[in-house]
Chains A and B, each alone.
Chain A
Amino acid sequence: MIILEDKKIVSSKFHIENSHTLSVAKEHGTYSSIERLFTLSSEEIIAIIKESHLRGKGGGGAPAGNKWALMPLGELKPSFLAVNCDESEPGTFKDREIISKDPHLLIEGIICTCFAIKSHTAYIYVRGEYKEFSNILQSAIDEAYEAGYLGENIFNKGYKLDVIVHRGAGAYICGEKSALLESLEGKRGHPRVKPHQQECEWYFDNPTLVNNVETIASVPFIVKNGADAYKEFGTSSSPGTLLFAMSGHVNKPGVYESEFGICMMDYINHYGGGIKNGKKLKAIIPGGASTKILTADEVGLAKLDYETMKALGSSLGTGGMIVMDEDTNMVEALKNLLEFYHHESCGQCTPCREGTGWVDTIMQNLLDGVARGEDIEKILEISKTMNGQTICVFAPAVSDVIDGFITKFRSEFESYVREDLT
């Protein structure tokens, strides 16, 4: 078995007792990027982040520096940072680790980011269910205010910064960045129609940057150590590390940070202790429920980086792997996911709102033994209508999920079909 060397940028303090408190966090190096930060200009910081090739860790993998560069640096309008801690993608549970085990690292990252984009207000949008964990985060923020790290004149550098935790209330779609901002404006979490040109996001018509918790938590390392230090981890096109995670049929499920580019199976064996109960692997959903499923054969070829996952027709997503053993019933598994998507569709687009419901119903018919052969084709047809004609990428992702399960495990679906029905 391959032994992997631990590479930790974001999770280096997770194992330390009371790492969520200011004194312990500081003792172990948190806030040590601040000194260098204030010697740099906005343009210089953005250039360093661009040069590091830091990619967004909320699922999309967008280059962070390019997004930051879309923020107007003039002071005509206030600008905002919205940190995405909605974390509702099934199989994903990494941001929770950051806000409960190293919240000061996130605050440090927020300070760096806001200083770079000249913002004086950051909101952290935390999913409503994470109340226990956002309480820990709030205590850390309170401590930071008391220490003068947040507030009117942070670190006595003449810079004002407020950080506000905003609690969601149970809606997966609010993780989509424009839905998040709608929700933060006090409305239903309905994704907005995307503009044709590249531009920043808008909060009450003010320029706004949305980044995932882990993306922001990666920033202090880069500010302190430089872009090259970050690029020493991972591969040339997927540099750095990610808080990959495993759930389902593995012996040691959990969140384990790793650099990009290692073999998926090595990760599963080294950190996850292999498949539960000595069973054989059947399939893995690689990066949160909304990424295309991989068969065991494909998993054998998979490496944990953006390029390899794309070449396999799937994507790295959030890095949250859902592992399924040989006894997993794929029809039941897909039905389970469709219930999720049907429940979570925001309902604005007809193909998404109706499509998820129709497929969910047909899947139920399959399981009830009242579906015909043509129903499988029907599912694939409905799935096609969901791809490419909706406001956000929720529906195309569902379409991919359906397509993956049915094309890769078709015989299992066919075994539920009743040909004798007229």
Chain B
Amino acid sequence: MSFNFNDDNLEKIELLKSKYPKVQALSLPLLWMAQYQDGFISLEAIQEIAKICETPMMEIYKVSTFYSMFNLQKLGKYHIQLCKTLSCKLCNKDDVLKSIQNELNIQVGESTSDGLFTLSQVECLGSCGTSPVMQLNETYYENLTPISIVEILKALK
């Protein structure tokens, strides 16, 4: 298997190169780009990014494993990322978690068998004033309750 950025992205990469003093700076933008293109980041993509960034493949691999939002594996279509940090905990995120687990029959770190949902807990999403909060793919859902979360999930099924 090999990985190639599509034409659209290749054009964007040329533009990106003009925005940074050195091409090494492109590693995060390109990892994002690869993740959008494939849904996850493959070793082949890492190899390709290393070539563009003129840096050893291991450097890009190190970067890809440092940041929690880069997925080196395929996830469910909907990635539930429930905040588990203090303000959300004080505002009863544990009840919301239980509700998700009951509704989907999965534990944290697991995906549903139909590949629709993956459940993760993440650290503070910077939305503590409207806790409990989850990020579903890239969208924030705030002020969750054990009831509202079930409605949100049902609508996606």
Contact = CB atoms under 8 A, between A and B. Distances in A.
A188 B67 CA distance: 8
A63 interface: no
Interface residues of B, number: 43
Contacts, number: 141
B67 A90 contact: no
Interface stretch (A64-72, A178-186, A361-369, A380-388): A178-186
B75 interface: no
A186 B53 contact: yes
B69 A90 contact: no
Nearest to A184: B25
A167 B129 contact: no
A185 B25 contact: yes
Which of B25, B62, B87, B130 has the most A CB atoms < 10 Å from its CB?
A: B87
Contact of A92 (B19, B62, B90, B128): B128
Nearest to B140: A132
Interface stretch (A103-111, A296-304, A337-345): A337-345
B28 A255 contact: no
A184 B29 CA distance: 10
A93 interface: yes
B27 to A, nearest CB: 4
A296 B67 CA distance: 37
A87 B125 CA distance: 9
B115 to A, nearest CB: 23
A172 B128 contact: no
A188 B63 contact: yes
Contacts of A166: 28-29
Interface of B: 19-22, 24-29, 31-32, 53, 55, 59, 62-63, 66-70, 84-87, 89-91, 122-131, 135, 138-140
Given A171-B68, A247-B128, 16 more contacts: A132-B140, A169-B69, A170-B69, A172-B124, A186-B28, A186-B63, A189-B66, A204-B25, A247-B131, A248-B91, A253-B128, A285-B86, A332-B89, A333-B89, A333-B90, A337-B86
